[in-house]
A = this chain, B = another copy of it.
Amino acid sequence: MPPAAPSPSAGRGRRKIPEATVARLPLYLRSLFESQHAGLTTISSERLAELAGVNAAKVRKDLSYLGSYGTRGVGYDVEYLLFQMSRELGLTQDWPVAIVGLGNLGQALANYAGFGDRGFPIVALVDADRRVVGTTVHGVVVRHVDELPDIAAEHGVSIGIIATPAGAAQDVADRLVAAGVSSILNFAPTVISVPEEVSLRKVDLAVELQILSFYQQRRSGGPSSPALPDVARAD
């Protein structure tokens, strides 16, 4: 397959943006908003890097994937860059969200106002427990998971958030996919699989804690170090 050099910098022929870059764009976006609120009209890659907690060269390279929106000797125009980046991230439109599972976490997420700096309205809450179905959380009535296809079609749900116990997660994911949802954010502590054309991201509290545990434990002398009374944990 000859690369055919598909118009690398044409305005329309979108370049492919590396995953790592995509994951940083929201950080830049947030930093730009803060800068805007602080009254700045332009910002250098160095300053933006500082705000986003990354390297300045990385910022420039990341932003260059979006296009040449900077001005040499000056920096980036905050408002213009905000606009371009919002557009690229798809934040110029709303993406309706459905939350499945209204336990502790699900309710907390439902109550989390200003969801993702707006743009992600929670249009549906779903649970499998008949005792929860019918109650109202954050102004939205909880419906039964069996109704997912109707609900998804009705509200044009784009993103599904799974906040169920681990055991139910795969089933819920399958139902979401079947209902036409093409982006899933999984909070359940288990691995789930979805078709290739569906985006899947996960947030796993237990995993995060265990990763921290690993490094913490390395600092205090490596595994199987008997019973060091955690005193004298100098640095």
Contact = CB atoms under 8 A, between A and B. Distances in A.
A204 B25 CA distance: 13
Q: What is the copy number of this chain in the assembly?
A: 2
A154 interface: no
B87 A224 contact: yes
Interface string A118-132: 011000000000000
A212 B200 CA distance: 8
A204 to B, nearest CB: 8
A185 interface: yes
A223 B107 contact: no
B14 A95 contact: no
A7 interface: no
Contact of A216 (B25, B52, B53, B159): B159
B88 A205 contact: no
Contacts of A97: 209
Interface in A163-213: 180, 182-185, 189-191, 193, 197, 199, 201, 203-213
Interface in A200-235: 201, 203-219, 222-225, 230, 233, 235
A32 B31 CA distance: 41
A163 to B, nearest CB: 10
Given A89-B217, A191-B53, A210 B105 contact: no
A95 to B, nearest CB: 6
Contact of A222 (B14, B183, B190): B14
Contacts of A218: 14, 90
Contacts of A211: 22-23, 26, 201
A26 B206 contact: yes
A164 to B, nearest CB: 13
A230 B156 contact: yes
Contact of A206 (B87, B95, B116): B116
5 contacts: A87-B223, A95-B209, A116-B205, A159-B216, A180-B233
